[in-house]
Structure 1
Amino acid sequence: MIILYTSPGCASCRKAKQWLKDNDMKFVEKNIFTTLLKEEEIKYLLQRSENGTEDIISTRSKAFQNLNRDLEDISVKELIEIIRENPSILKRPIMINESSFVVGYDDDEITALVPAKLRLAAQRACNPTCPNFSICGYLREEACSAE
């Protein structure tokens, strides 16, 4: 199950939500302004982010700027409390499941939420017998040769 952290008026959040719906992905949406984030939940988000706080904290947000603090000078405990009081400092959307963690909306990165078995099945289905192979198969071959 995917947890989608969103906020009202966020265009990237709407895109992510629509992508999940269009791809029949089951998700639970959590509006960060109407749902009080629990301490354990924030800790979990921080633990899952590859680069720590920098991945999920928007240092350009007004709420963060008003703190007049350097992110590196804030303890984890204090940061958790700041997030609970000012959820707008979180980057959005945040999408998380058992194996993937995606922040922001990116057409390529969001596909990490698709289970590996389904991605593999899609790759196997793309072969010369597919009616669309002349288009997508060529593009796949081109992308593989560029790497």
Structure 2
Amino acid sequence: MITYYAYPKCTTCRKAKSWLEQNNVEYNEVHIAESPPTKEQLTEIYQASGLELKKFFNTSGLVYRSLSLKDKLSNMTEQQQLELLASDGMLIKRPLAWDGKRVTLGFKEAEYQNTWL
């Protein structure tokens, strides 16, 4: 089963959730702002994803911009970045879907189809 981290007011999250439901994909929804993944969970997800850690940041989000992270991330260690992501779910690109092996960030229908069907 997929753990699906989303923000209910996010249009992209709603599109992804609708896709999961239309394709009968079982998931457990977690409110990313109220219950963000822990640093340990994020480390596991990040390592399984094969993606660069900076891809996990919601670069268009208010929190990201208010902390001026665009200029700061390159000077932070991987551990510091993971701690920062775990400290505020609104910093994490969403939706984040994870089944223990596979990961998707954001919502692209073709990627969901290739990953979750």
TM-score tier by shorter-chain length is 0.7 to 0.9
Q: 1:8 to 1:108 in 2, by over 3 A?
A: same
Query: Per-residue CA shift, 1:86-145, capped at 9, x if unaligned?
Result: 22111111112244211111111101111xxxxxxxxxxxxxxxxxxxxxxxxxxxxxxx
5+ residue gaps in structure 2?
none
Match of 2:108 in 1: 106
Query: TM (normalized to structure 2)?
Result: 0.84
TM-score (norm 1): 0.68
Within a 5 Å distance, the mapping from 1:112-123 to structure 2 comes to 112-114=115-117
Task: Check if 1:39 corresponds to 2:42.
Answer: no
Letter in 2 for 1:42: L
Following TM superposition, by how much is the alpha carbon of 1:36 offset from its aligned partner in structure 2, in angstroms?
A: 4.2
- Separation of aligned partners in 2, 1:31 and 1:7: 6
- SS of the residue corresponding to residue 94 of structure 2 reads coil
Q: Give the gaps of 5 or more residues in structure 1.
A: 115-147
What is the alpha-carbon root mean square deviation over aligned residues?
1.7
Shift of 1:34: 1.3
After TM superposition, the structure 1 stretch with the greater mean CA deviation from structure 2, 19-28 or 49-58, is 49-58
The residue aligned with 2:67 is 67
Give the percent of matched residue pairs that are identical in Structure 1 and Structure 2.
24
Q: What is the aligned partner in structure 2 of residue 54 from structure 1?
A: 54
User: What does 1:129-140 align with in structure 2 at a 5 Å threshold?
Assistant: none
- Which letter does structure 1 place at the counterpart of 2:54? E
> CA 1:99 to 1:49, structure 2 compared with 1: closer, same or farther past 3 Å?
closer
- Separation (CA, whole Å) in 2 of partners of 1:36 and 1:54: 17
**1:20 and 2:20 aligned:** yes
Highest CA radius of gyration, 1 or 2? 1
